[in-house]
Amino acid sequence: MNQLIAPSLLSADFAHLAQDIDMINNSEADWLHLDIMDGVFVPNISFGFPVLQYVAKLCTKPLDVHLMIVQPEKFIPEVKALGAMMMNVHFEACTHLHRVVGAIHDAGMKAGVTLNPSTPVCMLADIIRDVDMVLLMSVNPGFGGQKFIEHTIDKVRQLRQLIDETGSKALIQIDGGVNLETGKRLVDAGADVLVAGNSVFKAADPKDMIHQLRSL
Ligand code: DX5
Ligand code: ZN
């Protein structure tokens, strides 16, 4: 299987969202990655549901929603109402992660669990069989355009081993500083899904960049 590519709307031109979504719709992108921030869990605020309702109406790709917020379980109905395929919650934001994963599944969505760079892969040992995807942050969450943290490559290998040992079906997704160079090494280490913000939206030809990331 080719790696999947999920461009992150955080790096789009917010004054021309319809144009950028149209580009995504007409590209080889597999999913659209949506970053919701609350200014509490992360030191930034992005966009919320009133904006995303319009994004969801225009976008023809499956929606991959990454919640960088405290108590993400409060917003399961809102994420579901967008028609989201995947709801990603942070390990660090969920005291009762097993319950949250179950509630996301009960709502009819796939459940992803995200790890900050400082959270070790071994923390997932007791939830890995229950999740559809693990998102490894390769930057500290909150901003696009940051430098890739090298240790992520080791974490991808560790996570691949945990998945293989446990028979989990979880996909491995990486988010932060992904470009053609880091993307190639991530795929070689075992990544299944690459999120790409700046490398896609700031490229001279974003559609071609999506094609290149997909062909690594
Ligand atoms: C950061 C977000 C990312 C961000 C990635 O907190 O979760 O999805 O958009 O941006 P790049 O690819 O520019 O690092
Ligand atoms: Zn993200």
Structure tokens at 53: 């309702």
> Is residue 175 annotated as a catalytic residue, yes or no?
yes
171-212 pLDDT tens trace: 999 999 999 999 999 999 999 999 999 999 999 999 999 999
Atom of ligand 1 nearest to the CA of 200: 12
Taking each helix axis from N to C end, the angle separating 152-166 and 180-189, rounded to the nearest 10 degrees, works out to 30
Share of the chain above pLDDT 70, in %: 100
Distance of CA 13 to the CA centre of its chain: 19
Mutate to test the pocket of ligand 1, among 47, 140, 195 (most ligand atoms within 8 A of CB): 195
Reported confidence tier of residue 66, pLDDT bands at 50, 70, 90: very high
Residue with CA nearest ligand 1 atom 4:
144
When the pLDDT of each residue in the chain is averaged and rounded to a whole number, the result is: 98
107-158 pLDDT tens trace: 999 999 999 999 999 999 999 999 999 999 999 999 999 999 999 999 999 9
Residues with CB under 6 A from ligand 1: 8, 10-11, 33, 35, 66, 139, 141-146, 175-178, 195-199
pTM above 0.85, yes or no: yes
**What is the number of residues in the chain?**
216
Q: Kindly state which CATH superfamily the domain 4-214 is placed in.
A: Aldolase class I (3.20.20.70)
Which ligand is closest to the CA of 135, given by its number? Answer: 2
Contact 25, 59 (CB under 8 A): yes
Reported confidence tier of residue 51, pLDDT bands at 50, 70, 90: very high
Mean of pLDDT values over 52-67 = 98
pLDDT over threshold 90, residue 1:
no
